[in-house]
Amino acid sequence: MDNVNGKDLIPLKTSYINTSHIIIMESIYLENNLKLSFEKLQQTIRLIVSKNDEEWVCRKEKYENLIAFTDINQAHIFKGRLQLIKLDDNIGIQVNNKCISTISAEKFKQALNNLR
């Protein structure tokens, strides 16, 4: 432990960057300082809703399932705190059963396709 002026310094948190792991993300900015981000993982896509640049809720899903969701006229995906509801050409984003924003299905699909 390091010592300054006779007082012990306690290390809080150490972060390590793994240069072999690159995070690939796409984001859609929503109203009210909210953001929907898509993070590409090995087997899945992680959907993240951020509030004032802090992660609020997230959900992992397979890429194929998300693309299929965008191609259906009416659909509901996910259970729990984060839910997506598709009606025609729009996708409603719900957090804790409250609609926080709506985006076009095309914009959602474009963000997914940018991760390929």
What pLDDT digit, counting tens, does each position of 21-55 carry?
677 899 999 998 999 999 999 899 999 999 998 99
Query: Going by C-beta distance under 8 Å and a sequence separation of 6 or more, which residues neighbour residue 73?
Result: 86, 87, 88
Q: What is the mean pLDDT of residues 92-113?
A: 95
pLDDT band at 74 (very low <50, low <70, confident <90, very high): confident
pLDDT at residue 67 greater than cutoff 60 = yes
Confidence at residue 16, expressed as pLDDT on a 0 to 100 scale: 40
CA distances from 87 to 5, 62, 91 (A): 64, 21, 6
Whole-number Å distance between alpha carbons of 30 and 101: 7
The predicted model scores a pTM of 0.78
Q: What is the model's pLDDT at position 109? A: 95
Strands ordered across the beta sheet of 82-87: 74-77, 82-87, 90-95, 98-104
CA-based diameter of the chain, in Å?
A: 68
pLDDT of 12 strictly over 50: no
